[in-house]
Structure 1
Amino acid sequence: MRILYFYPENPLMFTQGNNARALSLLRYFKSRNIKVDFVGEESDDFKEDSILEMKSIGLIAEGFLLKRGNRKSKRIKYLLTYSLPRKMNRSVKDFDRTKFEHKEQFAEIIESRNYDYKIISYAYWASLLDNTKKGDNEKWIIDTHDFLTSQFQTNKKFSLSDYFQTEISVLKKFDRVWVISNEEKYVFSQFLDNQLDLITHSLPNNAQDRHVNAKNIDVVYVASENEHNVKSARWFFENVYPNIKRDIKITVIGKIAKYIPEFENVEKIKFIEDLDGVYKKAKIAICPMLSGTGLKIKVVESLSYGLPVVCNERGIDGLLNKTNNGCLVTNCPLEFANYINKLLQEEEFYEAKSLEASKFFIENFDINSTHKVLDDIFFADKKSHSL
């Protein structure tokens, strides 16, 4: 079996939740000996050295990066094949993130290769398939990652009907639609006849030795620098942080760190190679999240280590159960701070929430159960022939 997997960002930069999900899928493919040709978008954080690393550790068979075409040296081509067609196209432009010459490069990559499945991440990259022909036995899969219409609602020209209609029309082009949460599955199922699969984030159970490692990080906060995280981080440090005891050590990891002021008890790490060591040393995790949709990958990661999570209501989006899941949920700054203080002061309370986090994770996100869902998708034909 051979799969073409498009994911625009660098899966090896797993301090971002979406990248961690992509890396998890690549590890699944590797575990099943499925050959994967990977296509991404070149950026400052994604160069050929990362492609070579992915190949060296056996995550992919071949890897390619789409590069933006030089419109200065190809002005006429840029005007005729990219700029004017985009201006004349009345569909919502936010649902097409391809750059000049991306579609041509993508078509060239797959031209001489046969695939059983082509998987595209995010609806706004689906247009990469516009210039390609589907093979007779080939299946197209869209991994939605999120309900994108909601992400654009602050745009000045946002129209709910136009955006939602565009998103649905894009998804209809695919044989299977992957969603990451039950909420999104419910919304899309009302408008799609495609096969919808709930492919939640999967991780191994990391809480087995949660009492073995020394815990010298009181609070860990992992986040990227998207607009939702920036707004939420400011809310936390302006409204919650003043109510937290000053002897509590907070470690902030990820690009969100550059938006956080200097505090004596706050350590900021913009990038780290391996989050495993951090999670093992942490006592609790926080996920301040005021907006945004979809499953919060960092919440799932924290639960996999048996870490109680203090978060806002948006932090539990995508979780199958909204209670008894290891999360303490509130939108009140004072209560948010009090939860942190209580977890670190009351051992019995902490242990109860830690056990709750581990139990909920094993029941819903453990790698074995999630991989079974993927096996049913990719090996269903083999199973039916063997019956």
Structure 2
Amino acid sequence: MKKLLIITPVPTHPVGSGNAQRILAMHRLLVELGYDIHLAYIPFEAGDLDAMRKYWGDKLTVLPYNKPWKHIRVAGIPLPDRLTRQLAARGWASMHIDYFFNDDVLDSIRSINNSFKPSVVLIEYVFFSRAFSAFPSSVHRVIDTHDIFSDRHKSFLKAGLIPEWFFTTKTEERKGIGRANSVLAIQGWEAKKLNEIGKGKAAIYTVGHLAEPNPLPPPAGLNSILFLGSDNSINRQALDWFLNRVWPKVHQSSPSILLKVGGSISKNVRPAEQVVSLGHVDSLMEAYAACDLVINPAQTGSGLSIKSVEALSYARPLLTTTIGAQGLPDSGRDEAYLVVDSAQEMANKITHLANSYDEIPKIANTARLLYHNYYNNSIAQLRRALERS
């Protein structure tokens, strides 16, 4: 049995965020493919350690980590992090690829290599790719990118948001890509972009979100709408846009429809008629089974929207924007999922669906077939990426 080590700076629990869901889905599939998996968690982001230990058991190592707060130099002068992030966000400076990586963790990673002896190492996020330096050249190196980080801050600024998390230059991202043998892109256009950025330094594969297909019976009509998400600026903007510009129109024309908001984003829901805050969702299947339409009114974002793919995996009709549909197969547009961009169009579409009782089940059945093909194609690409080992 081949041994595969996953190194992640983000936790797998709680499971509310898209990146946690992707890592867990990847783990499930890798086990099905016959790999012995160990997870090394570098707590760059805090998580639920009790839940992680319960899930992973002795297959989990939590590594010691302190943010290094390496300074960016401007005109040769190192500036404190609170200033460099503001400068970088405006394009006046940039984070280098190892900005958040602390070399102090390398000895602990070497210890895992010596005891576990993996033949494959999969690192979540290119900006933690320096961890590859702890392994011999015989180890096959894979990066699961999740997103493209070159000039990522620009999409935030364009949407009127403050850039978050990590963003860098093409030169720095190329450096990270070059440390891997195989790189996983989460959607097709990102694979092309990463190939351009990497200039052939690594093989690029498109591996979409790997949520296990759990098709639910199609809804009979439209009585309830679901928005699920974690509490971040992109989701807050999307929810505000929908509640302020779309929902009043929907409620006026179809007052019996119920809007349910779940996940940590739900704490931002203000009291309103026919709007319910679900809070933390323990069972995704139950949440999807209790809705007839899933919305993703994203106004900005650079990566694949996990919530959009997840809706299809449960064979739920999805209404989203062009941004929210990024990475979904074009063949399913307007059949397996619906795309509109203006508030009036979205309100009109919901009203139309509420009055067309045969359309909701038809979309649900098409979504089921689309996701089946999407999932199988992603598995085939993942096999190819790993077989290079």
Secondary structure of 1:282's aligned partner: coil
Deviation at 1:55, TM superposition (A): 2.4
- What residue is the counterpart of 2:207 in the other structure? 199
- What residue is the counterpart of 1:77 in the other structure? none
- What residue is the counterpart of 2:83 in the other structure? none
Q: 1:252 aligns with which of 229, 240, 261?
A: 261
Matches within 5 A, 1:137-216: 137-153=138-154, 154=156, 163-191=169-197, 192-193=199-200, 194-207=202-215, 209-210=217-218
Q: State how far apart, in whole Å, the 2-side matches of 1:12 and 1:255 are.
A: 13
CA distance change for structure 1 residues 48 and 15 in 2, over 3 Å: closer, same or farther? closer
2:235 aligned with 1:238, yes or no?
Answer: no
Note if contact 2:9-2:45 (Cα within 8 Å) is conserved in structure 1.
no
CA distance change for structure 1 residues 149 and 83 in 2, over 3 Å: closer, same or farther? closer
Give the number of equivalent residue pairs.
358
Secondary structure of 2:324's aligned partner: helix
Comparing 290-299 with 89-98, greater Cα deviation is found at 89-98
Q: State how far apart, in whole Å, the 2-side matches of 1:184 and 1:20 are.
A: 20
Name the TM-score, length of structure 2 as normaliser: 0.82
CA distance change for structure 1 residues 274 and 45 in 2, over 3 Å: closer, same or farther? farther
Deviation at 1:172, TM superposition (A): 1.2
CA distance change for structure 1 residues 289 and 94 in 2, over 3 Å: closer, same or farther? farther
Q: State how far apart, in whole Å, the 2-side matches of 1:54 and 1:47 are.
A: 11
The one-letter amino acid paired with 2:229 is A
Deviation at 1:353, TM superposition (A): 2.0
The one-letter amino acid paired with 2:144 is D
Note if contact 1:11-1:22 (Cα within 8 Å) is conserved in structure 2.
yes
Q: Which has the higher contact order (CA 8 A, sep 6+)?
A: 2
- What residue is the counterpart of 2:32 in the other structure? 31
CA distance change for structure 1 residues 162 and 249 in 2, over 3 Å: closer, same or farther? closer
Deviation at 1:100, TM superposition (A): 7.8
Q: State how far apart, in whole Å, the 2-side matches of 1:284 and 1:35 are.
A: 38
Deviation at 1:65, TM superposition (A): 2.1
Deviation at 1:206, TM superposition (A): 2.3
Q: State how far apart, in whole Å, the 1-side matches of 2:207 and 2:77 are.
A: 33
- What residue is the counterpart of 2:109 in the other structure? 106
Deviation at 1:200, TM superposition (A): 1.1
Deviation at 1:249, TM superposition (A): 0.9
Deviation at 1:145, TM superposition (A): 0.7
Q: 1:341 aligns with which of 329, 338, 351?
A: 351
Q: State how far apart, in whole Å, the 2-side matches of 1:276 and 1:46 are.
A: 23
2:257 aligned with 1:220, yes or no?
Answer: no
CA distance change for structure 1 residues 341 and 86 in 2, over 3 Å: closer, same or farther? same
CA distance change for structure 1 residues 305 and 85 in 2, over 3 Å: closer, same or farther? closer
Secondary structure of 1:263's aligned partner: coil
Note if contact 1:207-1:306 (Cα within 8 Å) is conserved in structure 2.
yes
1:228-265: CA deviations, max 9, x gaps?
A: 11111111111111111232111111111122212231
- What residue is the counterpart of 2:121 in the other structure? 118
Q: 2:386 aligns with which of 369, 378, 387?
A: 378
Q: State how far apart, in whole Å, the 2-side matches of 1:182 and 1:44 are.
A: 28
Secondary structure of 2:330's aligned partner: coil
CA distance change for structure 1 residues 228 and 150 in 2, over 3 Å: closer, same or farther? farther
Comparing 346-355 with 231-240, greater Cα deviation is found at 346-355
Note if contact 1:216-1:281 (Cα within 8 Å) is conserved in structure 2.
no
1:180-220: CA deviations, max 9, x gaps?
A: 11101111222431111111112333225336xx9896101
- What residue is the counterpart of 1:312 in the other structure? 321
Q: State how far apart, in whole Å, the 2-side matches of 1:201 and 1:233 are.
A: 23
1:136-180: CA deviations, max 9, x gaps?
A: 42111111111112432257999xx97122112211111111101
CA distance change for structure 1 residues 89 and 97 in 2, over 3 Å: closer, same or farther? farther
Q: State how far apart, in whole Å, the 2-side matches of 1:110 and 1:89 are.
A: 38
CA distance change for structure 1 residues 118 and 349 in 2, over 3 Å: closer, same or farther? same
Q: State how far apart, in whole Å, the 2-side matches of 1:186 and 1:295 are.
A: 14
Secondary structure of 2:122's aligned partner: strand
The one-letter amino acid paired with 2:354 is L
Q: 2:60 aligns with which of 60, 63, 81?
A: 63
The one-letter amino acid paired with 2:240 is R
2:49 aligned with 1:48, yes or no?
Answer: yes
Q: 1:356 aligns with which of 338, 348, 366?
A: 366
- Structure 1: state its 5+ residue gaps: 72-81, 382-387
Secondary structure of 1:148's aligned partner: coil
- Structure 2: state its 5+ residue gaps: 79-92
Q: What is the percent sequence identity of the aligned residues?
A: 19
